[in-house]
Structure 1
């Protein structure tokens, strides 16, 4: 699905990564106030002193520099990263090869660069570098937001979570007259949530208790200042699925089983929210992947070879395949055998190179965030979420020597079903949107321009990930070796 030009959080602009600015806000957020405060933490005090950043506007931070627009208000707080201009050199063969677009483009969208898979190698590298630079800046500052519109997300079929959703909603609406709280539209007539009883209890809630649906999340994500996720890691993944492009900062309360992504204790939610709205937040940007299903076009010109069509003589023919849906994912893309009783045969490509043919139950391509999920269960490595990598792990490979591999996040991977495969395969994206891949179809996987902003606790953000794996996986947990006591005569 195409997005309007300028909706990207981070985009490649010439040879340099850039941040985009916008003053287009939903009417419900037009009264957010005049200023947002940025507080630098720790050694960040040596940075450029700038404590007050004006709210969304068209103010030019650096004169005479053309800027496009974005809907992401987090990025309006930060200045554009200016890359060092490269010297002029004669283009080498390798340099020209890097400028090739590395996927099929039958609709000629490449000039608009709407999808990461259509960017050149250098543009993807600049984009990924820009996201990492932005993440470093965000980790050293506290964003004091003027919150008006709060989005509450939980499982609408879980009785306990519905009760917690009502509790949080009532507290927020009672806290301040300016808050508007959005809950899922399925709760409007839910007996446990009892929206009518809530409005009858306090008539001032009328007009401030609102309901969201999938369409509102897709079309107007800038409406919401912050997302409160009540549940487990699956609820956080649901937030990523709802907000496929621009994602508001997500503050996740732990009400699930494990809690890699849920950083806050719900029993203290009132104190937590009071501190967040008063003192501000620190945001960690989690890399997401962009995955596009590419369908083989019907042809009648004899036998076909997927390797030839993707990296061989037919690679320049953009009409061998067409795109059929794009997904931004936080954990992993899985291509597996699905309901078939036999193993899958999968061709794996990286940029313009054929890596290998995988014969296995499937293959898991994971983000660093997803390294502790399906990737770990399949035998892959643990990976810190700040690492700029893609993790590839086979699922029950039919060889003894297929080891997990870690690749740079500047590569565009393609996992496809060869034309001579015995059966089709199935692809899923963060466990959702499961689709069949018939012989000749493939999936492209590349770094997304739309990272996932996760709110971190202010008091333990630097060691948060190690705490998570120690707490949830009992990482390296064993009884300490006893002291050796030497016997003396």
Structure 2
């Protein structure tokens, strides 16, 4: 993507945050100063009292999608915009995130670099999952993780897992996290899973509170596909902690890395290891 083609950005604000109104106008002023048109997404616009554009139309008409909020806002925007193949970058309104790494005080310097072509585009893996729901095949995307867990806290769950159609493991416990490299520092990390470098083409399976201590996290190459099913139990499928679906006993979910990647825009000097050290207090 050539920098001179960035003529229009679409903006998505963190939901239920009308206090971001002034930030949006400041953002708009900065982009306009450098000849870039700014349009807000319709739900975000309604939240702060201005007219916006419906999300899919916004993605089709803008060159870059900008989120203002935190990592959750960016993850939601990535999932919703994935089919449009539009690059995304995040501005954080609060604490530094793993994904949203620019604050409002740094925005003008970044936009100045952006129009000069001085930025990076990181291509990151995203999970694609298919399953049956109400006799229809549903396809969903997850930027961080897909979690299969028990619908009731009173019972453990059996999850049979196949890798490329071959029996792999049966997990027995509270569930399993299927994580992208980007999501490896989220729920996966809390459950004892590995930290994966975000630009690698792999994914991780991490059991949640397994009944057997021999059940350990596994990292699989991105070319593999997995099938997970619960012969005896209903299962709750949670996508990026934002959406939920239910699987009935005996139903399956098929998960793999999508063929396309997510394009995240960062500053040239962005260093993932610096973010890890700051967020996880490594080296203190």
Q: TM-score, normalised by structure 2?
A: 0.92
SS at match of 1:182: strand
SS at match of 1:385: coil
2:180 maps to 1:383: no
Q: 2:66 aligns with which of 220, 228, 236?
A: 228
2:40 maps to 1:183: yes
Shift in Å at residue 368 of structure 1? 0.8
Report if the CA contact (8 A) 1:155-1:162 is conserved.
no
Shift in Å at residue 214 of structure 1? 3.6
Q: Show the 5 A alignment for 1:103-182.
A: 143-173=2-32, 175=33, 179-182=36-39
Deviation sequence 1:380-433 (CA, Å, 0-9, x none): 011111222110000111111111111111111111111xx1x31100111222
Find the counterpart in structure 2 of residue 241 from structure 1: 79
Deviation sequence 1:13-52 (CA, Å, 0-9, x none): xxxxxxxxxxxxxxxxxxxxxxxxxxxxxxxxxxxxxxxx
**Unmatched segments (≥5 aa) in structure 1:** 1-73, 75-142, 196-209, 297-321, 479-489
2:279 maps to 1:469: no
**Unmatched segments (≥5 aa) in structure 2:** none
SS at match of 1:434: strand
Find the counterpart in structure 2 of residue 430 from structure 1: 240
Shift in Å at residue 450 of structure 1? 2.3
Shift in alpha-carbon separation, 1:166–1:157, aligned structure 2, 3 A: farther
Shift in Å at residue 189 of structure 1? 4.6
CA distance in 1, matches of 2:160, 2:182: 25
Report if the CA contact (8 A) 2:165-2:227 is conserved.
no
**Which protein has the bigger strand share?**
2
Q: Larger RCO: Structure 1 or Structure 2 (Cα < 8 Å, ≥ 6 residues apart)?
A: 2
Shift in alpha-carbon separation, 1:280–1:224, aligned structure 2, 3 A: farther
Shift in alpha-carbon separation, 1:230–1:294, aligned structure 2, 3 A: same
Deviation sequence 1:302-325 (CA, Å, 0-9, x none): xxxxxxxxxxxxxxxxxxxx6531
Shift in Å at residue 215 of structure 1? 4.0
Q: TM-score, normalised by structure 1?
A: 0.55
Q: 2:115 aligns with which of 274, 277, 287?
A: 277
2:205 maps to 1:392: yes
Shift in Å at residue 184 of structure 1? 2.3
Q: Show the 5 A alignment for 1:317-356.
A: 324-356=137-169
Deviation sequence 1:70-92 (CA, Å, 0-9, x none): xxxx4xxxxxxxxxxxxxxxxxx
2:112 maps to 1:255: no
Find the counterpart in structure 1 of residue 57 from structure 2: 216
Shift in alpha-carbon separation, 1:340–1:424, aligned structure 2, 3 A: farther
